Amino acid sequence: MARQNPGILYCYCKFARIIPNEVKTGVLERLAGSDLDFDAVPDLCEMSARKDPRLAEVAPGSKVIACYPRAVQGLFHSAGHPLPAGVEILNMRAGTADEIVQSILPAGAAA
Amino acid sequence: MARQNPGILYCYCKFARIIPNEVKTGVLERLAGSDLDFDAVPDLCEMSARKDPRLAEVAPGSKVIACYPRAVQGLFHSAGHPLPAGVEILNMRAGTADEIVQSILPAGAAA
Amino acid sequence: MTVTAQGSVPAGVIAALLEKGYRVAREAAAEPSVRVNGKAWPAPPGAGAAVAAEVDAYVRGDAPVPAAAWKPWFPVIDYKRCTNCMQCLSFCLFDVYGVSGTGQIEVRNQTNCKTDCPACSRVCPEVAIMFPKYRHGPINGDAVSADDVRREAMKVDISALLGGDIYSLLRDRSEKAKSRFSKERDDERALKERQNCLVTMGKALGVPAEVLASLPSVEEIQAKAEAARQRAEEARKLAGQS
Amino acid sequence: MTVTAQGSVPAGVIAALLEKGYRVAREAAAEPSVRVNGKAWPAPPGAGAAVAAEVDAYVRGDAPVPAAAWKPWFPVIDYKRCTNCMQCLSFCLFDVYGVSGTGQIEVRNQTNCKTDCPACSRVCPEVAIMFPKYRHGPINGDAVSADDVRREAMKVDISALLGGDIYSLLRDRSEKAKSRFSKERDDERALKERQNCLVTMGKALGVPAEVLASLPSVEEIQAKAEAARQRAEEARKLAGQS
């Protein structure tokens, strides 16, 4: 699978309640309300277990909004599609929705 | 829930492969090909865990086609709807489709 | 309801689709589109309409109950055999068991049970715990034979082994565990004692290393012992009332 | 396709509906009907059509892949930390781990993993096993601190405790286990030894009775030890080739 353009991959963490709801929903609301393109998936863990080939499509320069970087890297690696260098992982278990969106939206666009 | 008329309750044991397929399918085929009324449910264990009120509808004189009688009685009991006396439990883990259907179909009707 | 133009999908609808397992992507495509499970949407129209109807149902709050996302695997008690000894309750680490208002052991949290694990049925001294989807008898509900009963009688009786009241022992240990652990943590003698015991244990019971290694953390042991003690006391009180 | 008249539903269609979690009943009602999830069918028409379409898709063999019926809970290896020591492989009782063609440990059977059980991460001496959906760090993937590493270094090292090569020990025990067990089964002395050991063990490690009671059967121990031995040997061979 060829890498595509840099983008935003958002994990909804459908099967667990480990991401604070205000962060998970807050980030999604801001994404939906923005002009940014994004790819929202139900659950990266589930995709990793299925070795979903779409995991190979995350291109350098992309941002992955999910959980701890070490875990996210491990999930891509286990699926046989290690993340390329230059992908920024944003952790919804540690930051607030505002903090996460600040590092994604173009300067001045964060509401 | 009031008990209704005696009937046939068939468990498809959807979530496990413990019932030999030729028995499970064979019984269902014979039931479907007969003129008997029956109630086929995906999984008695699942209904028991949900405490499905329909478990209370099995009337005396009914036949339950499922697995070991001790287990079936326990499942109804756990759900808060113990089986009434006079319910025959037919065990698809032990008998053949023919044997099970013989004890259900009216004499002479078994094909 | 149809979801069409780029930017027109509210976050709530996206969340509803994600909850149902769909993948939703907004892309800078020539034609504005929402990808559902990797396909452009709406395409084919039938599928799109079905999804829209589902989303509608979600938004209205009358979506059908989703099919069971869980293999129904849990213990079932044969009350004709059960003596209410509570060994299963104190054994299970996942709070599957509970105690009824009349002080009777019952299976309360079926979905907590670990799929395909029949371990609690093995500690029951009365062969009273069944797993209907288990492969072998008598755990699968098959008739209990005289041999089965004899085998159970030979089992290590936890209470007897530990010298009497299992609950007071657990309580006792729970209170002392923390100080003992911190004291012995770096102690050469304690390590030696552990080693001797593990080897003896392995020989006597044929316990594999991986089982010995599966001991839970001190925090879990303490929390579990405390919870078991409280539940057992609650059960005793209730039983005493009836 | 519509399913209407009594007796007209072939067994295959009923089975397909049951597979999808529907309940199908044929009743001696005035109006011939098939009950779906407790409702007469087709009623409402829309719902009936949807179900019919689903059944059609099933019969045609192009039904959509059902949504995941499993909470994705499984270990994830941090290969920057992993030293390929195989302790997780020999520890896990459910064959979650495997060995790659190049002799490297890998998570192979994710769906075998017991939901919410992070036990294997606790035996890893390198803090290299994560469960992304676990509550606490570093198991959840949070950064590994110096404290975490120190704590791991203090863990009981299974191999060292059991005096060297864990695999040869398992093999050895596997061969001797059967005769030893049958000899000691009815032996008063053996029971005494067990009792002493369990009490010592409980004191030394703070092990609760319920964990000691969770020992698997002799047959399971033997099967597991044999499987671990074979996998480890296979891994060694493969590693030697590369």
Q: What is the ipTM of this complex?
A: 0.39
Q: Is the pLDDT of residue C180 over 50?
A: no
Q: What pLDDT is attached to residue C21?
A: 59
Whether residues A71 and D140 touch (CB distance < 8 A) is answered with: yes
Do residues D45 and D123 both lie within one domain? Answer: no
Q: What is the pTM of this model?
A: 0.41
Chain C residues touching residue A14 (CB < 8 angstroms): 18-19, 21
Question: Do the domain assignments include residue C160?
Answer: yes
Do residues C20 and C86 both lie within one domain? Answer: no
Nearest one of C102, C161, C153 to C124, comparing CA atoms: C153
Domain range for residue C220?
76-241
D63 to chain C, any CB pair closer than 8 A? The answer is: no
Do residues D168 and D83 both lie within one domain? Answer: yes
Whether residues A78 and D73 touch (CB distance < 8 A) is answered with: no
Do residues D142 and D211 both lie within one domain? Answer: yes
Q: What pLDDT is attached to residue D94?
A: 75
Do residues C55 and C127 both lie within one domain? Answer: no
Q: What pLDDT is attached to residue B32?
A: 79
Q: Is the pLDDT of residue A75 over 90?
A: yes
For residues D146-156, one letter each, b for 16 or more C-beta atoms within 10 angstroms of the residue's C-beta and e for the rest, the string is: eeeeeebeeee
Do residues C133 and C50 both lie within one domain? Answer: no
* Mean predicted confidence (pLDDT) in D193-211: 44
Question: Do the domain assignments include residue D144?
Answer: yes
**Considering C30, C60, C90, which residue would you say is the last residue of a domain?**
C60
Of C11 and D37, the structure prediction assigns the larger pLDDT to C11
Q: Which residues neighbour B44 within 8 Å (Cβ) at sequence distance 6 or greater? A: B11, B13, B66, B72, B75, C132
* Count of domains observed in chain C: 2
Whether residues D15 and B38 touch (CB distance < 8 A) is answered with: no
Q: What pLDDT is attached to residue D214?
A: 47
Q: Which of D91, D114, D224 sits opposite C213 (nearest CB)?
A: D91
The CA angle D86-D91-D95, to the nearest 5 degrees, is 90
* Mean predicted confidence (pLDDT) in B58-64: 94
Do residues D90 and D137 both lie within one domain? Answer: yes
Highest mean pLDDT among A72-86, C21-35, D225-239 belongs to A72-86
Q: What pLDDT is attached to residue C112?
A: 82
Render pLDDT for D118-159 as a digit per residue (tens, 0 to 9): 777 877 878 899 999 988 889 999 999 887 776 665 443 333
Chains that touch D (3 or more CB pairs under 8 A): A, B, C
Tally C-beta pairs within 8 A across B and C: 71
Question: Do the domain assignments include residue C171?
Answer: yes
For residues B80-108, one letter each, b for 16 or more C-beta atoms within 10 angstroms of the residue's C-beta and e for the rest, the string is: ebebeeebebbbbbbbebeebbeebbeee
Low-confidence winner among A27-41, C195-209, D82-96, D139-153 (lowest mean pLDDT): C195-209
Q: Is the pLDDT of residue C83 over 70?
A: yes
Chain A residues touching residue D79 (CB < 8 angstroms): 74, 77
Residues D125/D109, Cβ–Cβ less than 8 Å: no
Chain A residues touching residue C15 (CB < 8 angstroms): 12, 25, 28
Q: pLDDT confidence of C120, banded at 50, 70, 90?
A: confident
Do residues D195 and D219 both lie within one domain? Answer: yes
Q: Which residues neighbour C141 within 8 Å (Cβ) at sequence distance 6 or greater? A: B67, B68, B69, B70, B71, B72, B74, C76, C130, C132
Do residues C35 and C106 both lie within one domain? Answer: no
Chain D interface, mutation test: which of B5, B12, B19, B50, most D Cβ atoms within 10 Å?
Answer: B12
Render pLDDT for B28-50 as a digit per residue (tens, 0 to 9): 888 877 878 788 888 899 889 98
Chain D interface, mutation test: which of C23, C65, C161, C186, most D Cβ atoms within 10 Å?
Answer: C161
Residue C224 exposure: Cα atoms within 13 Å on the Cβ side: 21
Question: Do the domain assignments include residue D69?
Answer: no
Of C111 and C197, the structure prediction assigns the larger pLDDT to C111
Do residues C52 and C153 both lie within one domain? Answer: no
Question: Do the domain assignments include residue D91?
Answer: yes
Do residues D88 and D18 both lie within one domain? Answer: no
Q: What pLDDT is attached to residue C153?
A: 54
Do residues C185 and C118 both lie within one domain? Answer: yes
Instruction: Please enumerate, as own/partner, the contacts of A19-22 that have beta carbons within 8 Å and a separation of 24 or more.
Output: A19/A67, A19/A92, A19/A93, A20/A92, A20/A93, A22/A97
Whether residues C25 and A38 touch (CB distance < 8 A) is answered with: yes
Q: Is the pLDDT of residue D86 over 50?
A: yes
Question: Do the domain assignments include residue D155?
Answer: yes
Q: What pLDDT is attached to residue A38?
A: 80
Q: Which of B13, B15, B74 sits opposite C130 (nearest CB)?
A: B74
Average per-residue pLDDT in chain A? 87
Whether residues B74 and C76 touch (CB distance < 8 A) is answered with: yes
